[in-house]
Structure formats: structure tokens, C-alpha cells
Amino acid sequence: MPASMLLTNVRPAGGPTTTVLVRDGRIAVVGKGAKADSVDVVDAGGALMLPGLVEAHTHLDKTLYGMAWYRNEVGPRLIDKIDNERAMKKKLGIDPARQSARQVVLSVGHGTTHIRTHVDVDTEVGLAGIEGVMRTRERYRNIIDIEIVAFPQSGLLVRPGTVELMEEALKMGAEVVGGLDPSGIDRDPKGHLDAIFGLAERHGRPLDIHLHEAGELGAFAVELTIERTKVLGMQGRVTLSHAFCLGMPDPVAVGALIDGLAEAGIHVMTTGPASRPAPPVKRLVEAGITVCSGNDGIRDTWGPYGNGDMLERAMFVGLRNNLRRDDELELALDVCTHGGARVMALADYGLEPGCRADFVLVDAETVAEAVAGRPPRKLVVKNGRIVARDGRAIVEAP
């Protein structure tokens, strides 16, 4: 199948109905001049065309999706969930290659064309997670792009040997250095941040730090992150994931953090969590900060929720941030598309001529309706080729 097609009767980003020519895996012409130049013609039936959805934060290696239902009886603390998960990986036989493949196929069906996944690296699982997800990445390389964050889920300094494993993961093919709650888990904010910034500097890699720490403790970690980002010239290459502390009630403190993040060019990832303080998305975007989103863990030992749908995630971001106006829902979608693309530094992303032909068609009148209604994806195109129809990927999961 050639990576070319002529899409007729389509509305890019909810604009007027037009014609789009895809040639050699790229959007070649939009509107006048888009002709059926010996390529397949696909009548979009008036569908809305959105850029490929960007899942900028998930954990492909440890979803239980497709396995027997896991009865969750885990304790309430963060460390309960981390310890339980390490034990369950063995007990349940969570195979990273198989499970990541299942989630990827699910995501493709929902129109996701790019994924940034955090993959556990620790002294028990070693690099098995990285290896498994790399096999999945290779297997599905023609239908989705996957970026891997080497993620010290069980702590970095508290588990000697983990830094070395992280180095190894980066050499194997992980692109991004991960970090996690420098005070809450490693009990040493300076030590943890110096270690991960050191890894990032030595290997010339971006950073993505899970920061669940709330209130002033989280704010302190944000300050330390801003300082290091500026000193090392890493502006535009550092992401804070979750950043619950940006949802703390002190508007003056939050304002200062937002200013600092904007100045240091640090990105923020939020899932739009309903039960936690959360970064105020509109304010961040207005301050010039790039905000992305992701589904986080899907049906895993941490929690039962999630289906891999980034349009549903845009809805969650909207609901959490009380976004009701159409322009606000368009912002929520932007977070789940262009925001993620900027965080992952994707080249040629979008619906303009010259961009990679990564896009999604849905039956919806407007972008706002697509977010609120989450209609099934009619067609998903990756690199100019159809990879999913009517909500289902054209490939099978293991």
C-alpha cells in the first residue's frame, strides 16, 4: 500500500470542508491543487481531521490490559503501590513485551500516533522492561512512534546499582532520563536531582521527572529543577510530570513557580487528575509553558482505570480545569496533540503541507464535540498509511 492518498470531503481542525493530498507519507497539498494523482481516493464523509494524538505519559511495560482482572486490595500510600507492583510483576507474570504490545494496539485504535512511555528500571526487574518495550517498538515501528524514558520507579539512590542500570538503558536505546519524587522516595532531593541531571548531561538527553510531591515539598523540588535546568542550559528539554504542587492553594507561591518554569523553558505534563491538586492548565499555557498530557498507567496494579484514549484524556483535562467554552476545549485538545509534540520535539507535526501525514478522522461537528463526545476514530493514518478503522487497529495484539 503506497503512503499516498487523496482525502476528500474532510474538515482539518474543524475548518471548512476541503481536500487533502497525502504523498510519500506527508501532507502534500491542502485545498486547491489536491488532485487524485494516481493515488487512492478516500471520501472522509465530512469528518473532522485532527493531528495524530500524542500520549506523552504512560507506562507501557506494566499494564494488565488483556490479562485476567486484577483484584486491587493495595494500601493507600505511594510506597504500598510501588512495593506491591514489584511483587506482582513476578507473581502475575506481567510480560513487558506482550503487555506493551497490547496497549500500543489499543492506543493506535484510538488515534494515538506517538507515545512517550516511562519504563521501570530497578535492581529487581533490571532492564527487562526496557528490552520488552524495545521489542514492541520495533514490532510496530510502521504504525506508531514510541519514545522511552528510563524510569527509576523504585528509587535511584536508595537502590544502589540503579544509576548504572539507567546508564545501560540509555545505551540500549532509551532516549530520556527519568526521575521520581526526590524527597518522597530517594529522601535526598539534592542527591537525586544531581544524579539525574548528571545522567542527562553526560548522555545529552532530555529529562522527565515524576513529581507527585505536593505543596511546599513539591515546590522545593520545582525550584531545584529550575536552578539545574538553567545552569546546564537544558531549557526546552526538561518535563515535570504530574507536578501536583502547582495546584496548591497559595496563588502567590504558585505564581512564582509558574514564572520560574516559564523562564527555564520547563514543560509540564498533567493527566487532569480528579482527586489531586493539579496544575492550572490555562494559566500555564498563558504563561508560555508547554503543557502535555497522557493516560499514565492503564489498568495496572496502581489502579483500574484507563483505556488509552487521548480524546478521553483531553476530556479529563477539560473536566479537571473546568473548561466549558469551545475555545477552552480546543485548548484541551491542543495539550493532547501539539503540546505533546513539542515536549517530544517531533519534527514536522501538524496538519500543514509538509507535515508528516499522521492524523485522525472523527465524526464530529467541532473540535469541542470531539473532546466532549469522544466518538470512535473513523480512520487513523500514520506516515500516510491507514493504521486503524472504526476504533480498531489493523494489526492484532498478542
| Least distance from a copy of itself to the Cβ atom of residue 355, Å | 27
Cell 544531581 sits at which residue? 194
Question: What cell was used for 314?
Answer: 483531553
User: Residue 183 or residue 366: which is nearer to a copy of itself going by CB?
Assistant: 366
Does 307 help bind a copy of itself (rule: CB under 8 A)?
yes
Residue 325 found at the interface with a copy of itself (CB under 8 A): yes
Alpha helices in 182-307 (DSSP H): 189-203, 215-231, 251-264, 281-286
Q: What is the dihedral sign for C-alpha 74, 316, 46, 111?
A: negative
* All cell numbers assigned to 45: 464523509
Among 26, 299, 377, 385, binds a copy of itself (CB under 8 A): 299
> Least distance from C-beta 381 to a copy of itself, angstroms?
25
For position 274 contacting a copy of itself by CB under 8 A, the verdict is yes
Site residues for a copy of itself, window 137-196 (CB under 8 A)?
none
Give the number of other CB atoms < 10 A from CB of residue 18: 18
Binding mask 49-88 for a copy of itself (x = CB under 8 A): -------------------xx-xxxx--------------
Sequential DSSP letters for 21-78: EEETTEEEEESTT---SSSEEEEEEEEEEEEPEEEEEE-GGG--TTSSPP-----SSH
Which CB atom, from 38 or from 275, has the smaller least distance to a copy of itself? 275
Set of cell numbers at residue 84: 506491591
Q: Cα dist. 355→27, 112, 347 in Å?
A: 6, 16, 8
| Binding of residue 392 to a copy of itself (CB under 8 A) | no
Q: Which of 373, 376, 386, 397 binds a copy of itself (CB under 8 A)?
A: 373
The 343-372 site mask, x for binding a copy of itself (CB under 8 A), equals: ----------------------xx-xx-xx
If the CB atoms of residues 110 and 237 are measured against a copy of itself, the closer one turns out to be 110
Residue 17 binds to a copy of itself (criterion: CB under 8 A): no
Name which of 17 and 142 has its Cβ closer to a copy of itself. 17
- Of 206 and 306, nearer to a copy of itself (C-beta) is 306
- Residue of 31, 33, 288, 303 that binds a copy of itself (CB under 8 A): 303
Q: Note whether 272 binds a copy of itself by CB under 8 A.
A: yes
Min dist. Cβ of residue 232 to a copy of itself (A): 36
CB of 371 to a copy of itself, least distance (A): 8
Residue closer to a copy of itself, measured from CB, 274 or 347: 274
Q: How far is Cα 23 from Cα 4, in angstroms, rounded to an integer?
A: 4
How far, in Å, CA of 231 to CA of 225, rounded?
10
Q: Is 376 in the site for a copy of itself (CB under 8 A)?
A: no
Beta bridge partners of 210: 180, 241
Q: Which residue's C-alpha cell is 506527508?
A: 26
C-alpha distances (whole Å) from 323 to each of 40, 103, 315, 320 are 39, 28, 9, 8
- The one segment of 35-43, 176-184, 250-258, 326-334 that binds a copy of itself by CB under 8 A: 326-334
Per-residue three-class SS string for 320-369: HCCCCCHHHHHHHHHHHHHHHHHHCCCCCCCCCCCCECCEEEECCCCHHH
According to DSSP, the residues that pair with 126 across neighbouring strands are 122
Where on the chain is the footprint of a copy of itself (CB under 8 A)? Answer: 68-69, 71-74, 249, 272-276, 299, 302-307, 315-316, 318-322, 324-327, 329, 365-366, 368-369, 371-373
